[in-house]
Chain A
Amino acid sequence: MVTGTLSVESLLDKMVSELKTLLIHRQIDDPLIIGIRTGGIWIAERLHTALALESPIGMLDISFYRDDFSQIGLHPKVQASQIPCATEGRDIVLVDDVIMSGRTIRAALNELFDYGRPSSVTLVTLLDLQRRELPIQADVYGSTMSLSPNQQVKLSGPDPLELEISQKD
């Protein structure tokens, strides 16, 4: 069974190149990058640097938008979302570290739309764990990975960025 750490540099290179191509194809020249707290922000910062973008990074905390409030209650350490400029009419690149069920992205999209109506949203994730519960797919991803139910993966960072695969308790 796979455990241990994995460097994300090569995955990032692949994502940057694919995202560049996609943005050109979609004729987007000034995207607004928004990362989902916490791991998504680290990835977003790397993409922001690599693409040399002018618009500052936005940070989204989706705690108030989760769909499992009645199951697990309020997350105890909620930080405010920081969206530095108007999202109305902008082309958003939404970034998270891992996509699994798709529920986090569902919550993030709902929150994003409360800030205004973006022109488009492109989804980028580092890993795709391919266990979707909702019809949401990443436009660009670093790698896919299949974990057994008792395994979990966690991104540590921001420097160095490392993926750690471990057994669940």
Chain B
Amino acid sequence: MSPSSSSTLTPFAALGGFFLSTAENVGGMGGMLGRIVTRLVRLNFDASELLRNLYKMGVKSLPIVVVTALFTGGIMVIQAAPIVQRYGAQGLLGWGAGFGTLREIGPLLTALMISGRVGANNTAELGTMVVTEQIDALRALAIDPINFLIVPRFIGIVTTLFLSTVFADVLALGGAAYAGYGILGVEPAVFYNGLTSGLLGLGDVFHGLIKSVVFGVVIALASCQFGIATSGGAPGVGRAVNATVVVSAAGIFVLDYLVSFAIG
């Protein structure tokens, strides 16, 4: 092959490689979802592992969720402050903060935090278990790694993200109310009235919560699939964690768009 034809083919080869790798990842995650669902339907998973993971993923994520949520609420108010002051729209501050937080910012930022903290950690743990033969040891002990490791982690991540989002929504609104009072002098009662004036409904709350479940599924599938498919020793674990973070973040944004589009 001549150098010129080789250089012409290289971008196509790279593009083909990208599509093949994407298809492999999406297919792997689809296969993983199928295996998880069959165990979930039969309630065939390890309850003690589920409790351990709920504690490790949920309870231990609380500090980072608290910090993120409180400051997110504050940031919403800082960004809205010039408009609120220019038009004297203090009464709409609660609605504005609530609309953005409940439908979009709360679930999105919480998902990104959980992806970084829990998803990456999950992949690293599973990947390390693969390269140190712990997964093989489970199989050799007649224990299905999907029942024992994957399903509890899947439930743990989805549940953690859902509950963290509820928690983050409440805290972000608290942070917004506090920042509104401190920066704009908007009384908490006025903020609360804006929030509950009828412009916001339960539909807005559910909109964000549905997204949190979808994001949780993406993070859980990506982190479990890349973790369990790790190969190549310690560098392989690093590559798997990197892939989880990238695919989870990309998946979150793509699905955010699709879910927003689908449910309005």
- The answer to whether A binds B is no
Residues in B lying within 8 Å of A, measured CB to CB: none
Residues in A lying within 8 Å of B, measured CB to CB: none
